[in-house]
Amino acid sequence: MPIHQDLLSILICPKSRKPLRMATTAELQKINDAVRAGTAKTVGGVEIKEPLDEALLADGAGANGGSLVYPVREGIPILLIQEAIPL
């Protein structure tokens, strides 16, 4: 179930306060490749074990200009910094 555009237009990254956007197919592929390899971890250090169908991306959210990816599970964005995945 995709996120409704009206909701997406008001969501912001809880860390950077920048607008969020849907992750592209290429970005999801990169994350899911890391999940399959067992190297994908959240900011909190927890290994991601299930591939993502959808995710939100905040460009430039990290301290070094990196990006944080917020998973979307069953149509619900998980906007907790500890649950975000560094891209």
Query: What distance, in Å, lies between the first and last C-alpha atoms of the chain?
Result: 23
Amino acid at residue number 65: G
Q: What is the pLDDT of residues 5-41, one digit of tens each?
A: 788 888 999 998 999 999 999 999 999 999 999 999 9
0.75 exceeded by the pTM? yes
Q: What is the pLDDT of residues 55-85, one digit of tens each?
A: 999 865 444 446 899 999 988 999 999 999 9
